[in-house]
Amino acid sequence: MYGSYTFGTASTVCKTVSISASPASPQPIGATLTLTATSSPCSNPEYQFYYRVYGPSAFTPIGTWGSASRQWNTTGLTQSGTYEILVAVRNIGNTGGADVYSEIAYALGSTCSSTSVNASPPSPQGVGTSITLTGSATCSNSAAAEYRFQFLKTGDAAASQIGTGYSTSPVVWDTSALTAGTYQLTIFARAVGSGSDYDTFAQVGYTLSPKTVVQMATGTGYHSCAVLNNGTAHCWGNNASGQLGNGTTASSTAGVAVSGLTTVSAVATGEDHSCAVLSDHTVRCWGSNQFGQLGNGTTTSSTTPVTATGISDATAVTCGQNHTCVLRSGGAVSCWGNNPHGEVGDATPTNFPQATSPVTVSGISGATVLSAGGFNTCAVVGGAAKCWGEGTYGALGNGSTTNSFVPVSVTGLTSGVTSIASGIEYGCAVVSGSVSCWGDNTYGQLGNGTKTASTTPVSVQGLSGASQVAANFVSSCALLSGGSVSCWGYNNEGELGNGGSAESLSPSAVSGVNTATLLSVGSVQSCVTLSSGAAQCWGYNAFGQLGNGNTADAHTPVTVSVN
């Protein structure tokens, strides 16, 4: 710190001293400075001047003890930067060293006078977010600046460095090992080539919030995945084909991070594969690729994410049992993977029985909602429901049991559809807050009080205010206004979440769920995202797909562990 320092108590010592430099800072290296000292109450003072480039280096004397004015020629200096100029004073005859010191800062050569930091993404973000820090500075002589960064959590004693030191490039702040709280980010700036520890600095606050779930999916297999508020994806459950995406085939009863993904906006799960949309609208997939469901042009499975070819405008992703579809900007749809029933909807046998790269679904534009089921896919297009793929039991809802390689209209659902779900050989849709289902009804999954299949939509009993419907293998669920959830169908392992194990041919309320915001139904398990950012699942759990740290079935919701 710059200022004055006094030593000794005798009446003969000098008590104060100050220093000035002319011309004023900054100046180029080579300038001759006039250093002037003033002290009191010295009867017969002498002065010694020193300098050093700012930092821990030793001071260098400027001449020897003498008068209060000194000429300092800076021609011999080799480093630009901020210098400390120090003056010491004592009364002549005092041989025990200086009585008092004072120092000032002075910029020589190219220096930076102000700086700021940009943090992206901006505060607040979840713990684990990778934050890019970029500095800017105003420097003399049009000099380039270099920066170093550090962080300090409120309440902590010492700051920690980010990165390895000074750099002209942005630095990534890895927050994965930190805890939630308020942090102070400090940027230090200096001119490139400067010998200063720093020329200037600035500080900004940044808040890291606890990890929360923003979206999740549980599919036709026995695993689940979630997107966290830090942009990462975590998966749990069966991992025999690498569908958890962490580079292994070891199953997990709690969430594990998918390798290399830090900007995930949406995730989907199939039987043995998973996919994600990134913030740049590209798609990554991982797990089994037996049918080309990873979309990278091969049938080679991968335990870590690979890029689906040719997709750069995806806004949503959905996985069927062994196929994948994405909603693209403008409402077009592309699909890839298993295609013996027309799952990819491209109107041609060219990609029969599988498409290893994305193909465009025939005749679809303006789609707003997309759902892939076991062997078919459905979309909302202009408020109407359309489906393609396997037609067994009337799964396409068009009054037929015939497969279709092109989208067909679901009978009677020509407007007002806001949510759609494609299960295994059946489907459901929300229309004006009510739910209609069609197709297989072996376990009462159509919710109309019977077990009779229907090739056209039938109304689910007793539901109103529905905002989302989800379907998969043997049970269906609806998210209702206010955040409650009701389910119907098979319930042997607790798929309905009502505490029992008896099937229900009409909706039954899920126990304790009243703040749900998103819903996903898997083969024999279901999950919700809550307004608190927590996630809960219920049902079959032999592979840990409920994510609560064990493999016991749960007939009521249990909390997922994603940390």
Q: Return the closest-CA partner of residue 496 out of 513, 481, 476, 522.
A: 476
State what percent of residues in the chain have pLDDT above 90.
85
Q: Give the CATH number of domain 213-559.
A: 2.130.10.30
Segments making up each domain of the chain, as ranges: 4-108, 112-209, 213-559
- pLDDT higher than threshold 60 for residue 103: yes
- pLDDT higher than threshold 90 for residue 2: no
125, 132, 210, 340, 502 from 514: Cα distances, Å: 26, 37, 22, 41, 22
As a whole number of angstroms, the distance between CA 485 and CA 483 comes to 7
Q: Return the closest-CA partner of residue 386 out of 431, 369, 374.
A: 369
188 close to 147: Cβ distance less than 8 angstroms:
yes
What are 257-295's pLDDT values in tens digits? Answer: 999 999 999 999 999 999 999 999 999 999 999 999 999
Given the candidates 3.40.50.720, 2.60.40.2550, 3.40.50.1970, 3.40.50.300, the CATH classification of the domain at 112-209 is: 2.60.40.2550
Mean pLDDT of 316-331: 97
86-106 in b/e form (b: 16+ CB < 10 A) is: bbbbbbeebeeebbbbbbbeb
29 close to 75: Cβ distance less than 8 angstroms:
yes
pLDDT at 3: 52
List the 475-480 sheet strands across, edge first. Answer: 466-471, 475-480, 485-489, 504-509
Instruction: Please indicate whether residue 298 or residue 176 has the higher confidence score (pLDDT).
Output: 298
Whether the bond between 26 and the residue before it is cis, its omega within 30 degrees of 0, is yes
What confidence category does residue 78 fall into, taking pLDDT thresholds of 50, 70 and 90?
Answer: confident
394 phi/psi in degrees, rounded to 5: 85, 30
Enumerate residues 6+ apart whose C-beta is below 8 A from 410.
378, 384, 385, 386, 387, 396, 397, 398, 427, 429, 438, 456, 457
As a whole number of angstroms, the distance between CA 342 and CA 348 comes to 9
As a whole number of angstroms, the distance between CA 424 and CA 271 comes to 12
What confidence category does residue 562 fall into, taking pLDDT thresholds of 50, 70 and 90?
Answer: confident
Amino acid occupying residue 507: P
Q: Give the CATH number of domain 4-108.
A: 2.60.40.10
165 phi/psi in degrees, rounded to 5: 140, -155
Q: How does the average pLDDT of the chain come out, rounded?
A: 94
CA 39 to chain centroid, in Å, comes to: 59
What are 453-480's pLDDT values in tens digits? Answer: 999 999 999 999 999 999 988 999 999 9
Mean pLDDT of 80-104: 90
DSSP assignment, residue 465? S
60 close to 52: Cβ distance less than 8 angstroms:
yes
What confidence category does residue 318 fall into, taking pLDDT thresholds of 50, 70 and 90?
Answer: very high
What are 359-400's pLDDT values in tens digits? Answer: 999 999 999 999 999 999 999 999 999 999 999 999 999 999
CA 71 to chain centroid, in Å, comes to: 58
Judged by DSSP in three states, 427 sits in: strand
What confidence category does residue 9 fall into, taking pLDDT thresholds of 50, 70 and 90?
Answer: very low
- pLDDT higher than threshold 70 for residue 353: yes
| Least reliable range by pLDDT among 193-197, 299-303, 522-526 | 193-197
Mean pLDDT of 521-528: 95
- pTM as predicted: 0.77
Do 112-209 and 213-559 show the same overall fold?
no
pLDDT at 80: 87
How many CA atoms does the CB half-sphere of 363 hold within 13 Å?
11
480 close to 515: Cβ distance less than 8 angstroms:
no
C-alpha triplet 318, 244, 358: angle, nearest 5°: 35
What confidence category does residue 503 fall into, taking pLDDT thresholds of 50, 70 and 90?
Answer: very high
pLDDT at 11: 53
- pLDDT higher than threshold 70 for residue 8: no
What confidence category does residue 450 fall into, taking pLDDT thresholds of 50, 70 and 90?
Answer: very high
- pLDDT higher than threshold 50 for residue 7: no
